[in-house]
Structure 1
Amino acid sequence: MMLALALLCLALALLPACLAAVNLGILRTPEPEAEEPGLVSILIPARNEAAVIERTVRAALASAGIAIEVLVGDDHSTDDTAAIVRGIAAADPRLRLVAVPDLPEGWTGKNHTCSVLAREARGDRLLFLDADVTLVPNGAAGLAAHARRSGADLVSGVPRQTMGTLGERLTVPMIDFLLIGYLPMALMRLLPDPSLGAACGQMILMRAESYAASGGHGAIRTSLHDGVRLPRLFREQGLRTDLVAGHALATCRMYRDFRQSWAGFSKNAREGMATSRALPVWTLLLFGGHVLPWLLLVLALLVGDRPAAWVAAGAALVSLATRAAITLVVREPAATVPLHPATICTALAIQWNALLRPDRAGASVWKGRRYPLAPPGSPPHQGS
């Protein structure tokens, strides 16, 4: 029995290992050409981002190899966000501050702000950046070049994630691990199936024409998880989406401690894994492939079951090697690799907590706003 369980663990560990080997081979950082044609509108939704907005805006304005404009949507900030942006705009006409109207009923704040920014944008490509994302000089040009060469209507990548606390290191690495270890990217590029659509909401480039045709953020107005909903929306309408290696295009520090990390990953859990149908499957895949091997190894050694111990050790090493390979390529801290089993447990705890213990008001709170939780199985988007 123990040997059979160990063999199952090995199979579950080999699945992401094989997918990661393929994905890391085809995922490339896009290279811009000498001068990329067209105008890219860099659109930054901001609500109380005074601590980070100057760095983000100045990095966007330093973009090279392509013509850009930068629009910052001030979503009723109560700090110095707007004043900081106005000060920079006074010296650079490519930057505009857009005052976002009051939030309409039935919208989430980020989607509303992004929709407002898109209406104000003049570019033929729209690059949506979170306010804590710092572009490198050729980041926007690289994304635009890949979109043009590949014919993709939507291109996204995960910025290099910087982490300063244990709480961040126990949570943030799951973004790249899930995308690279569990998304069959070769099939994503080959098949139009909406379920294969994926993006990182921190950095998404879209053709303005395709964005308008799809309904854009207005079509997912109730969502808190644009990284899932937008690419699936595009694919449902026959538009192409793609992923690139984003770690050399931008950096991002999402959170500052475990409390922020828990809240941030909880807010969109029920639009991702945390459904009654999906989460048991993900628990089998993640716990069985990355945590159970270590538990079985200890148990097999204690009871003297050498065959089971060898197989469990193999599964554990495959799991750790997969995580190490992904971590090395995306340039996350190497110190997060030994934390991998704990990271898996933390991710599953967040998802199960979101599914089984939504807060008493039945709502998700983010950036000082409270949103009704979409029930599991609700439609992925609403019409614009």
Structure 2
Amino acid sequence: MAQAPWAAVLIARLGSGWRRPSPLTPQPSRPENLAKVSIIVPTLNEAQRLQPCLAGLMRQGYEVREILIVDSHSQDGTVEIVQAAQHGDPRLRVEFDPPLPPGWVGRPWALHTGFCRAHPDSEWILGIDADTQPQPGLVASLLETAQREQLDLISLSPCFILKRGGEWWLQPALLLTLIYRFGAAPPVARQPERLLANGQCLLVRRSCLEAIGGYQVAASSFCDDVTLVRAIAATGARVAFRDGSRVLKVRMYEGMAETWREWGRSLDLKDATPVAQVWGDAYFLWAVQGLPLPLFVLGLVALAVTTPTLPLEMATLLNGLLVLIRWGMTLAIAPVYDWQTGQGRWLFWLSPLADPLAALRITLSSWQRPKQWRGRTYSSQT
């Protein structure tokens, strides 16, 4: 009785997946798009992973007017890497953000600084994270899709690069917490409060940002991408979230422990979500993702050692159905991973065993705001 309504909600959410748009594909540059895009890359001690991002951005076509690396005074050689790359592409420029104001989180502050300093003639602002690896034709593909579908904002899900067995086991379970809660993204978002976005690659019309005062609406958010996009969608803008696995790769975290610690602190999306919805989603995850496999196994054992009853049979059947859906989702998300790299890739197929941990991580994250994020420490008032 506790699970059945949520199982019905899950089936309804996933049922629209067959109507989702095809993944974006690389597109050639078009003369009419000359210098329409300013790219902003926020950085803080990113020397270990910035070079693939810069190389990918430098391969983009002439729709890119400038590439602003907004650095928060890195101490690891990040700036020197950018300065060396400038000799190969004059579009690259380093900007330093001012000291972090009270009430701001570092990433939206860097993005806001870049937005304020971007060339005023650029019609679009593209936020890119330093851990991404843009593929050739990414920006042209984003622009072509936005123009063809008359979108004001589009963000992409990437192709994930995993290198260790623990990542292959845990990361898919964490990723699926998003799909379970929000379902397949529609062609154009209709409900801002249920909208999902990815700030690793987010293209937005400059006029839309100007209308809401830049990134200020997401100043104190640790899920600033979702906060920003929901605020823009609420103004009536046309917003979309698409599969970008053919034009964007990302290496997010190093190892299972960092994946659990860093990604898990923002997956609850509580900064962009009412409290009741946050805890409703946590309960939903336990009901349809975290508990079905253990309950299904317990149900089979109980049926084998006790006299079967109708409630026991129905509960076991329901959890068996949810386990079957989970294995189907495992197959569905397999194409968004880079299968050419990494060790322990076979553990991906055992990721359903990590579902209780994924539900636990969302629950723990829902209790408190992060105090540390990407090398910075924040007060509880941030």
User: Is TM more than 0.5 here?
Assistant: yes
1:50 corresponds to which residue? 47
Match of 1:71, SS state, is strand
* Partner in structure 2 of residue 378 of structure 1: none
Conserved? CA contact 1:270–1:355, under 8 Å: yes
Deviates more, 1:75-84 or 1:206-215: 206-215
Shift of 1:147: 1.1
Judged with a 3 Å threshold, the aligned counterparts in structure 2 of structure 1 residues 354 and 331 are, in CA distance, closer, same or farther, namely closer
Gaps of 5+ in 2: 340-344
**1:204 is aligned to 2:199:** no
2:269 and 2:183 mapped to 1: Cα distance?
Answer: 20
Equivalent residue for 2:106? 109
Query: What is the correspondence of 1:3-14 to structure 2 with a 5 Å cutoff?
Result: 11=8, 14=11
- The question of whether the paired residues in 2 share the 8 Å contact of 1:160 and 1:331 is answered with yes
Cα 1:202–1:370 change in 2 (3 A) is same
- TM superposition score normalised by structure 1: 0.84
Residues 170 and 229 (structure 1), Cα distance of their counterparts in 2 relative to 1, 3 Å cut: farther
CA deviation string 1:162-210 (max 9, x = no partner): 112244334433565345444355767263x321332101110111121
Provide the C-alpha distance between the structure 2 equivalents of 1:136 and 1:300, rounded to a whole number of angstroms. 47
Q: 1:243-322, aligned counterparts within 5 Å?
A: 243-269=241-267, 271-272=269-270, 277-304=276-303, 305=308, 307-308=313-314, 309-322=316-329
User: How much is the aligned-residue C-alpha RMSD, in angstroms?
Assistant: 2.9
User: Is the Cα contact below 8 Å between 1:265 and 1:350 reproduced in 2?
Assistant: no
Q: Which residues in structure 2 correspond to 1:135-174 (within 5 Å)? A: 135-173=134-172
| The one of 69, 76, 79 aligned to 1:79 | 76
SS at match of 2:378: strand
* Structure 1 SS opposite 2:163: coil
User: How much has 1:301 moved relative to structure 2?
Assistant: 2.2
Equivalenced residue count is: 364
2:27 to 32, 44, 54: 32
Q: What letter corresponds to residue 218 of structure 2 in structure 1?
A: I
Corresponding residue of 2:363: 352
CA shift, 1:64, in A, is 3.1
CA distance 1:103–1:276, change in 2 (3 Å): closer
Pair 1:330-2:336 in alignment: yes
Residue by residue over 1:59-118, the C-alpha shift from the partner in whole angstroms, topping out at 9 and shown as x without a partner, is: 101013634421111111011000110011133211111122221222111111111111
Query: Secondary structure at the residue paired with 2:202?
Result: strand
Offset at residue 243 of structure 1 (A): 1.1
Q: In 1, distance between residues paired with 2:83 and 2:210? A: 28
Question: SS of the counterpart of 1:189?
Answer: coil
Q: Post-superposition shift, 1:337?
A: 4.5
Q: Which residue of 2 aligns with 1:131?
A: 130
Of 191, 212, 215 in structure 1, the residue corresponding to residue 213 of structure 2 is 215
Q: How far, CA to CA, are the matches of 1:30 and 1:290 in structure 2? A: 32
Q: 2:225 matched to which residue of 1?
A: 227
1:245-272 Cα distance to aligned partner (Å, 9 max, x none)? 1111110011002232222124335643
The 10-residue stretch of structure 1 (42-51 or 104-113) with the greater mean CA deviation from structure 2: 104-113
Aligned residue for 1:380? none
The whole-number CA distance in structure 2 between the counterparts of 1:162 and 1:245 is 15
How far apart are 1:38 and its partner, in Å?
A: 3.8
In 1, Cα distance between the equivalents of 2:185 and 2:14?
15
Distance 1:92 1:313 in 2: 56
d(CA) in 2 for partners of 1:246, 1:230: 20
CA distance change for structure 1 residues 104 and 7 in 2, over 3 Å: closer, same or farther?
Answer: closer
Asked if the contact 1:266–1:351 (Cα under 8 Å) also holds between the matched residues in 2, the reply is: yes
Distance in 2, Cα, partners of 1:240 & 1:174:
30
Question: Partner letter of residue 252 of structure 1?
Answer: V
Taking only the aligned residue pairs, the percentage that are identical comes to 24
Comparing 67-76 and 12-21, the one that deviates more: 12-21
Q: Summarize the Cα distance change of 1:16–1:190 in structure 2 as closer, same or farther, 3 Å threshold.
A: closer
Cα distance change, pair 301–346 in 1 and its aligned pair in 2 (3 A):
closer
**Closer, same or farther: CA 190–199 of 1 in aligned 2, 3 Å:** closer
Provide the secondary structure at the position in 1 that maps to 2:33: coil
TM-score norm. by structure 2 comes to: 0.84
Unaligned runs of 5+ in 1: 376-384
Structure 2 distance, partners of 1:300, 1:270, is: 30
Shift in Å, 1:286: 2.2
Q: How far is 1:138 from its partner? A: 0.4
Aligned mates of 1:268, 1:184 — CA distance in 2: 18
Q: Is the 8 A contact 1:124 1:208 kept in 2?
A: yes
Kept in 2: contact 1:9–1:315 (CA 8 A): no
Contact residue 169 and residue 348 of structure 2 kept, 8 A: no
